[in-house]
């Protein structure tokens, strides 16, 4: 049954050509071993040339090495060319920080691309299946997504110079388990898949079974929804591409110029999609929904000249009837800059972001003062003139708990901030007076007192 469904999927969607080289990513687990074994059985009829790549993330000690040995022996048994690639996830994380799973994925795909290039292979096939697709859709729904996010993983997607092909997206894990049992093949099992420390595992082990108690066919229902949206997204994509071509000019790989009058002639639903498409052309980061909304607000802002920072190092600049979305400013850190503070909201800067929250009740003790947070009496501040800028010659601050003023230059020296970084340090000001220097010092301006009735918390968010 599994083999027939695999062959049917490949034929229906024309995933592989006769005589084609196919690189298979194999972990040693149920999914990838079933996929590999199925492709090996079908290969003689279609003259496919199967190659295998296994990535050892070195995260599970001896168990990781045993996974690699298992894949090597499996390939040798079936005379399949293979490569074992080692990546050091922990070292990369120690160097750059970040999420362990995200770093592992990044390094894994780099290894896949390297092997594909070495072997002259244009298609990488992976064993993501129907259950994975359901988990992806539920995870995106929980975290927040638009309609396109509910399409889930694509059957074919471009990754650099290769195509990533997923032929199992309509085949469930149980079908693969039954197939391997019939073939008397015992795959490797990653014990971390049973840990509820990871969000995806909790969805698989707890939330989705709970949803099935309401509807035993909830997986099929979600997959059907994804298929319907995918068909509609093709139409939306056509309209979006045509719209972007009509309202914008691609100045360079790092800049788009938008005609505001033309842009506003489109429905808001299409405006969002056009903005998202342009932003995706400028950065690989998965931008949140509110970034798109910030651009829409910029377009209709009452001021003819205003600007914002967005994640991914993007700056949006409105100048009368034109909107510029650009990354060209990034290498101009030595110039003076100043931007209005979004209150409430998030103001994005090249180095990070400042989040501002207004409250009529005091903040909980664990969210009050710290090097990266400061709380002020909002009524004592001219919120309309709060801005963030870099340093100016002769800058002075009146530090909280300190009599008199102090030179900002002296604070930078005390904190041992390198000269090369001082012009990049954000400084929150109200008109010409310094209110707060994130991670360094708050001023004595607008302190919270027993009479305070409206609170402003500013928090620095690292990039």
31 annotated among ligand-binding-site residues: yes
Q: How confident is the model at residue 10 (pLDDT cuts 50, 70, 90)?
A: very high
196 annotated among ligand-binding-site residues: no
Q: How many CB atoms lie within 10 A of CB 195?
A: 11
Is pLDDT above 80 for 277? Answer: yes
What pLDDT, on the 0 to 100 scale, is given for residue 333? 46
Order of all β-strands in the sheet with 305-310: 248-252, 255-259, 322-326, 314-319, 305-310
Rounded to the nearest 5°, which phi and psi values hold at 228? -65, -45
For 220, left (φ over 0), alpha (ψ -120 to 50), or beta? alpha
CATH of 234-331, one of 3.30.465.60, 3.30.420.40, 3.40.50.300, 3.90.1150.10: 3.30.465.60
Q: How many CB atoms lie within 10 A of CB 169?
A: 19
Higher per-residue pLDDT: 266 or 366: 266
Is pLDDT above 60 for 365? Answer: no
CA trace torsion 450, 426, 310, 154 (10° rounding): -100
- Of 90-94, 419-423, 424-428, 434-438, minimum mean pLDDT range: 419-423
32 annotated among ligand-binding-site residues: yes
Two structure tokens written together for 410: 């002296």
What pLDDT, on the 0 to 100 scale, is given for residue 435? 92
CA-atom Rg of the chain in angstroms: 27
Smallest CA-to-CA distance from 90 within 61, 112, 59, 118 is with 59
Q: Are 319 and 306 in contact (CB under 8 A)?
A: no
Contacts 24+ apart (CB under 8 A), 297-302: 298/323, 299/258, 299/260, 299/263, 299/264, 299/271, 299/323, 300/264
pLDDT, tens digit, 9 for 90 and up, residues 204-252: 999 999 999 999 999 999 999 999 999 999 999 999 999 999 999 999 8
For the chain, the structural domain boundaries read 2-214, 234-331, 345-462
Q: Are 355 and 363 in contact (CB under 8 A)?
A: no
Distance CA 102, CA 107 (A): 9
Is pLDDT above 50 for 181? Answer: yes
Give this prediction's pTM.
0.67
Please report which residue ranges of 283-433 form alpha helices under DSSP H. Answer: 289-299, 408-414, 419-422
pLDDT, tens digit, 9 for 90 and up, residues 122-143: 999 999 999 999 999 999 898 8
Q: Are 47 and 19 in contact (CB under 8 A)?
A: yes
Going by their DSSP bridges, the two strands 156-159 and 82-86 should be labelled as unpaired
Q: How many CB atoms lie within 10 A of CB 358?
A: 13
pLDDT, tens digit, 9 for 90 and up, residues 317-344: 888 899 999 986 544 444 677 888 888 8
Q: Which helix (H) or strand (E) holds 24?
A: strand 21-25
CA 377, distance to chain mean position in Å, is: 35
pLDDT, tens digit, 9 for 90 and up, residues 348-358: 777 788 999 99
Two structure tokens written together for 333: 């850190």
Any idea which residue has 């931007």 for tokens? 339
Please tell me the CATH superfamily of domain 2-214, with its number.
HUPs (3.40.50.620)
Q: How confident is the model at residue 463 (pLDDT cuts 50, 70, 90)?
A: low
Smallest CA-to-CA distance from 282 within 239, 232, 244, 322 is with 244
* Average pLDDT value for residue range 413-432: 85
Q: Which helix (H) or strand (E) holds 376?
A: strand 373-377
178 annotated among ligand-binding-site residues: no
- Of 38-52, 324-338, 443-457, minimum mean pLDDT range: 324-338
Rounded to the nearest 5°, which phi and psi values hold at 372? -105, 10
Q: Are 233 and 225 in contact (CB under 8 A)?
A: no
* Average pLDDT value for residue range 194-198: 80
At CA 248, angle to CA 243 and CA 249, rounded to 5?
135
What pLDDT, on the 0 to 100 scale, is given for residue 366? 45
27 annotated among ligand-binding-site residues: yes
List CB contacts of 18: < 8 A, sequence separation 6 or more: 46, 47, 48
Q: How confident is the model at residue 371 (pLDDT cuts 50, 70, 90)?
A: confident
449 annotated among ligand-binding-site residues: no
List CB contacts of 127: < 8 A, sequence separation 6 or more: 25, 26, 31, 32, 34, 35, 166, 168
Indicate the CATH number for domain 345-462: 3.50.40.10
């Amino acid at each position: 049954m599994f083999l027939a469904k695999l062959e049917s999927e490949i034929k229906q969607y024309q995933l592989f050509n006769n005589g084609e080289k196919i690189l298979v990513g194999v972990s040693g687990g149920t999914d990838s071993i079933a996929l590999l074994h199925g492709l090996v059985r079908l290969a003689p009829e279609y003259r496919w040339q199967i190659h295998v790549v296994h990535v050892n993330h070195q995260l599970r000690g001896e168990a990781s090495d045993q996974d690699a040995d298992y894949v090597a022996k499996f390939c040798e048994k079936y005379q399949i060319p293979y490569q074992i690639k080692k990546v050091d996830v922990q070292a990369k994380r120690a160097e750059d920080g970040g999420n362990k799973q995200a770093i592992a994925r990044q390094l894994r795909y780099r290894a896949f691309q390297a092997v594909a290039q070495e072997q002259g292979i244009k298609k990488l096939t992976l064993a993501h299946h129907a259950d994975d697709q359901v988990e992806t859709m539920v995870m995106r729904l929980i975290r927040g997504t638009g309609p396109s996010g509910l399409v889930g993983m694509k059957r074919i997607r471009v990754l650099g110079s290769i195509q990533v092909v997923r032929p199992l997206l309509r085949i469930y894990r149980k079908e693969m388990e039954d197939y391997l049992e019939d073939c008397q093949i015992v795959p490797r099992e990653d014990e971390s898949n049973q840990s509820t420390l990871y969000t995806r595992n909790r969805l698989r082990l707890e939330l989705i079974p709970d949803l099935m108690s309401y509807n035993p066919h909830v997986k099929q229902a979600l997959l059907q929804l994804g298929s319907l949206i995918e068909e509609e997204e093709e139409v939306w994509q056509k309209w979006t591409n045509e719209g972007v071509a009509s309202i914008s000019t691609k100045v360079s790989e790092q800049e788009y110029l938008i005609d505001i009058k033309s842009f506003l002639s489109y429905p808001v639903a299409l405006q969002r999609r056009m903005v998202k498409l342009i932003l995706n052309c400028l950065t690989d980061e998965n931008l949140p929904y509110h970034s798109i909304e910030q651009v829409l607000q910029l377009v209709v802002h009452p001021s003819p000249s205003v600007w914002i920072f967005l994640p991914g190092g993007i700056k949006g600049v409105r100048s009368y009837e034109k909107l510029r979305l650009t990354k060209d400013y990034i290498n101009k850190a030595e110039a003076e800059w100043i931007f209005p503070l979004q209150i409430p909201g998030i103001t994005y800067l090249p180095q990070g972001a400042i989040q501002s929250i207004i409250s009529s009740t005091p903040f909980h003790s664990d969210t009050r003062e710290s090097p990266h947070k400061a709380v002020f009496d909002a009524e004592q501040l001219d919120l309309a003139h709060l801005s963030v800028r870099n340093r100016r010659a002769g800058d002075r601050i009146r530090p909280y708990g300190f009599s008199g003023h102090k030179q900002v230059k002296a604070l930078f020296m005390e904190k041992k901030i390198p000269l090369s970084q001082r012009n990049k340090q954000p400084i929150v000001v109200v008109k010409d007076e310094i209110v707060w220097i994130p991670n360094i010092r708050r001023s004595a301006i607008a302190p919270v007192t027993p009479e305070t009735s409206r609170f402003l918390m500013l928090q620095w968010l690292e990039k």
